[in-house]
Structure 1
Amino acid sequence: MDAGALTAHGEARDAGFYLTALTYGHYLWQRGFAARATLCLDRALGADLRGDEPVLRDWPLPYAAMRWFLAHTPPDVFIGNPRVHFQHLADRMNEPRREQRRWRAWACWALARAARPEWPGDPRHRVVEPTVDEIAARLARHGLAGEVALWRGAFASSPYKA
């Protein structure tokens, strides 16, 4: 499997794209490419889903998987600094579905803080970091039904609570 699996979807960011992004992320994780695997989960979270797609019954939004990837990346495997990645992504998000995708990026930023508190933010990027309650409120407004519960559930094994 390679990046061609994602580009084969063309401009479509539908349920098929979502499942491919999850599958490719898993494939990359199994091969030790933590950074690229994390980016695939990020791509899956950007899919254009309404919430009633059958794929979501078996493969809910990957907040728990994202936190697991971040927490379980071996120290000798490159992952960069996902906290900074999500901080920049959230602050610079473009259309389509800007607000939904922006708040999902902030949600992943919070997961990165929980999974790896030693990762610093970017001190040169002046942005107001939202609280977990603000993230939850915005996900409730712009996300799918049940999304906040999925996101909060990803914190279950973390000392940082949402």
Structure 2
Amino acid sequence: MPDLPDISNIPYLPSPARDMNWRDLNRFKSSDRGSDFYKTCLDYSQVLWRQRLPARAILCLDRAWGADLTGDEPILESWPLPYQALVYILQNAPTGVFLGNPRIHFQHYADRLGEPRLEQRKWRSWACWALSCKARPDFQSDPDHDVEEPSLEKIAQKLDQYGHIEETKLWKSILQAID
């Protein structure tokens, strides 16, 4: 494999100083998915991005959105929910690397989630689906997936209901800023 030029860090994620692997996330028990887990997900997503694995970086962000946070944790002041990081990945993935189809991923993910915090995670997934649709309109939806795609208004309403305070505002501002 030829040497590839370095890619820039995702500016919306922390930059861990050390290399990481799946064990860094695996060490967390299902009952210990708070701030430390959230930060580790963000860190590992950045590591995966640097390794030119954008699809896996997005999967790591999925785990961050599923962290058990109430919205008032100090980590969220420095590193808000990673909607902007998702858009960055979608718009800056290097040519020739596997990105998958994030639109279909989030469409299916929203429909197949289970507890804990099912509704919160479901509507975050639909919010990511909407960002994916706007950031990468070249990706098609799954025509065989028999689920009604929600309107932006419905997504906002459900984020208001199940998300953190100001989460809908964050999501809307990122959605509106997409070129």
Q: TM-score, normalised by structure 2?
A: 0.86
SS of the residue aligned with 1:40? helix
Per the alignment, residue 52 of structure 2 pairs with 32
Q: 1:96 matched to which residue of 2?
A: 116
Please name the residue that 1:155 is paired with: 175
Residue 157 of structure 1 and its aligned partner are, at CA, apart by 3.2
The aligned residue for residue 52 of structure 1 is 72
Maintained 8 Å contact 1:86/1:109? yes
Q: Show the counterpart of 1:70.
A: 90
* In 1, Cα distance between equivalents of 2:92 and 2:176: 15
Query: Per-residue deviation at 1:16?
Result: 0.6
1:150 deviates by 1.1
Contact kept? 1:64, 1:153, Cα under 8 Å? no
- The partner residue of 1:117 within 137, 147, 150 is 137
Q: RMSD value over aligned CA atoms?
A: 1.0
Distance 1:102 1:129 in 2: 12
Which position in structure 1 is the counterpart of 2:7?
A: none
Q: Choose the corresponding residue for 1:6, options 25, 40, 43.
A: 25
DSSP-derived class of the 2:52 partner: coil
Q: Unaligned regions of 5+ residues in structure 2, if any?
A: 1-19
Residue-by-residue CA offset, 1:2-55 (whole Å, 9 max, x unaligned): 010001112221111000000000111111110111111111001110111111
Partner SS, residue 136 of structure 1:
helix
* Partner secondary structure for residue 159 of structure 2: helix
**8 Å CA contact 1:45, 1:61 repeated in 2:** yes
Aligned residues: 159
Mapped to 2, the partners of 1:16 and 1:130 lie a distance apart of 32
> 4+ runs of 1 displaced by more than 4 Å?
none
The CA deviation string for residues 97-153 of structure 1, in whole angstroms up to 9 with x for no partner, is 100000000000001101100100100111100011110000000000010111112
SS of the residue 1:28 aligns to: helix
Percent same amino acid at aligned positions?
50
What secondary structure, in the 3-state scheme, does the structure 1 residue paired with 2:177 have?
A: coil
Q: Give the superposition deviation at 1:74.
A: 1.9
Task: Give, as a single letter, the amino acid of the residue that structure 2 aligns with 1:79.
Answer: L
Q: Which has the larger radius of gyration?
A: 2
Q: For residue 33 of structure 1, what is the amino acid of its counterpart? A: L
CA distance in 1 between counterparts of 2:153 and 2:89 reads 23
